[in-house]
Amino acid sequence: MYTEAVVIGGGAAGFMAAVTAKENGLDIIIMERKDRVLKKVLATGNGRCNYTNINADISNYYGEDKEFAQDALEIFSPENAVNFFEKLGIVHKVEENGKVYPYSGQASAVVDALRFETQRLEIPIYTNFDVSKIEYKNSLFKIFSSDGNRIITCKKLILAAGGCSYPELGSNGSGYRLAEMMGHKATEVKPALVQLKTEKEPVKGLHGIKVNAKITACHKEKELDSSEGELLFTDYGISGPVVFNLSYLSALYNNPVFKADLMPDYNIKDIEELLAVRRGNLSHLTMEDFLVGMLNKKLGQLLLKRSGIEKLSLPVTELSDERITKIAFLIKNYDIKILETTGFRNAQVTAGGIKTDGINSKTMESKKVKNLYFAGEILDVFGDCGGYNLQWAWSSGYLAGKSAAGE
């Protein structure tokens, strides 16, 4: 079977690439190795689909070449993404920190909108098509299915096969192997935007507690990066947006330490004064309830124990100035040592991927093989938590599709 163009990967980037290519006059088909397309999109944003972020710019993205994503983001911006989906029927809603959701609150709406558009444009979708190998000869790509029953030949090929995150939803890293067949190389890949396993003591008894915190990630006392937002304590360690934003560092450094500021709106002197006032006002209490109303009760009790107060039955009146200084320090500098991530099965995205030095950032075309294009998570580009990674999918997918159709 011959077709002008093929997209390998039925995810966000693949669909955007296919829709854009077809709208620009290129006949194209979508191949997906799973039985359904857009599974990962359906799961994003806790089922609500945070499909872009109005604040997205190059500072929100990472990779060996941190500037690579700039061209695609400028050509197809968050505003372009909002307008694109508005035309497909998605009324948008901007929430905290610039996150954009469908007004209906349903990820399925975004999935349906993309499916309806491919139907309107008459783009064929081949599910359960697991690609085993690609051959390039005489300016044509020959794509072989793993079952040996199907071979599709095309002039232009877009690789949008994803990374390694959420393998049960479709992306299992096979796209790297296909890219390597075409002469491209991949970096080492690690889970990113993922929960982190920690030492037990700093999180003991805190499962399910959420707090607003500013976390500064450090390695050998060197500050690496920081982020502020919701911190969730779990039975294995820590999670939440603030953790996801910094989790990429666990792929770069062994056992970084996350220093949590549990009261980022106060400086340490203010906290010391606040604790001293509480000592006077709450003199009728024991230390068990000393921090109630200031911090989560269980978190406060753990902090007090870690400050050296062995018995929480101690009267508040016996709290020394020295101990107040220690408690205030812990509130502003609560060390949590990271041991490892919870793996690709729980990771929202992949850190690493196909090296971008072999790809033209202005077209997404390979510098090694003419008419081969890349889009989405397969590349060594990933963003912060909060709609940035789907924006990269739309931006890179749009640029790849438009470039493929433009030649």
Residues 151 and 27 in one domain: yes
Residues 181 and 210 in one domain: no
Sign of CA dihedral 43, 75, 15, 350: negative
Distance CA 28, CA 125 (A): 9
Residues 111 and 163 in one domain: yes
Distance CA 240, CA 210 (A): 8
Residues 363 and 297 in one domain: no
pLDDT single digits (tens) 343-368: 999 999 999 999 999 999 999 999 99
Range of the domain at 89: 2-188+353-406
Residues 184 and 230 in one domain: no
The CATH number of residue 158's host domain is 3.50.50.60
pLDDT single digits (tens) 99-127: 999 999 999 999 999 999 999 999 999 99
Residues 53 and 127 in one domain: yes
Checking if the pLDDT of 407 tops 70, the result is: no
Type of residue found at 84: F
Contact (CB, 8 A) for 22 and 117:
no
Give domain status of residue 18, yes or no.
yes
Residues 144 and 244 in one domain: no
- Boundary (domain end) residue, out of 312, 342, 372: 342
Distance CA 299, CA 251 (A): 28
How many other CB atoms are there within 10 angstroms of residue 199's CB atom?
15
pLDDT single digits (tens) 38-67: 999 999 988 999 999 999 999 999 999 989
pLDDT single digits (tens) 153-199: 999 999 999 999 988 787 789 999 999 999 999 999 999 889 999 99
Type of residue found at 88: L
Residues 365 and 226 in one domain: no
Residues 90 and 132 in one domain: yes
pLDDT of residue 40: 92
Total domains in the chain come to: 2
pLDDT single digits (tens) 241-265: 899 889 988 878 899 999 999 999 9
Lowest-confidence region among 128-142, 248-262, 391-405: 248-262
- Boundary (domain end) residue, out of 318, 342, 366: 342
Give domain status of residue 348, yes or no.
no
pLDDT single digits (tens) 292-338: 999 999 999 999 999 999 999 999 999 999 999 999 999 999 999 99
Residues 173 and 255 in one domain: no
Residues 130 and 225 in one domain: no
Q: What is the value of pTM for the model shown?
A: 0.89
Contact (CB, 8 A) for 361 and 72:
yes
Residues 98 and 162 in one domain: yes
Q: What is the dihedral of CA 89, 95, 100, 104, to 10 degrees?
A: -30
Give domain status of residue 59, yes or no.
yes
pLDDT of residue 251: 77
